[in-house]
Amino acid sequence: MAGAAAFEAIADAFRGTGLDVRVAYRGEGPALGHDAALFATRFIQAGLTNVLRHATASRVDIEVNQSPSRCASPSAMTGPAQPLPRRDSAAGRCGNGQKLSVAR
């Protein structure tokens, strides 16, 4: 499962936690390749996991914007984020920008 079907499946799974997850699609383009679709799916999954762990949101809006040359997924949530505990090191962790550069 990839692309829109995977995004909807993830949204359904997180709805089971009590979050109101809404997915909207804008634009059109060719189907994402396997690596890009997998990255986008994991990106959305990680974002929703972070909302559950670190926010008091009741709703998350995910907007998937796709054109022939790119796919982007900004999201918004309702409710404030909870403060994160301070860590001395981020060893073993990388940001989504680094993950995306590897997926290209």
Domains and CATH numbers, the chain: 3-103 (3.30.565)
What confidence score (pLDDT) does residue 32 get? 77
In single-letter form, the type of residue at position 31 comes to A
What confidence score (pLDDT) does residue 30 get? 73
Check residue 86 and report its DSSP letter: P
Q: Is 47 exposed, middle or buried (0-12, 13-18, 19+ CB in 10 A)?
A: middle
Confidence of residue 91 (pLDDT cuts 50, 70, 90): very low
**Are 48 and 7 a contacting pair, CB within 8 Å?**
no
Q: Is the pLDDT of residue 88 over 60?
A: no
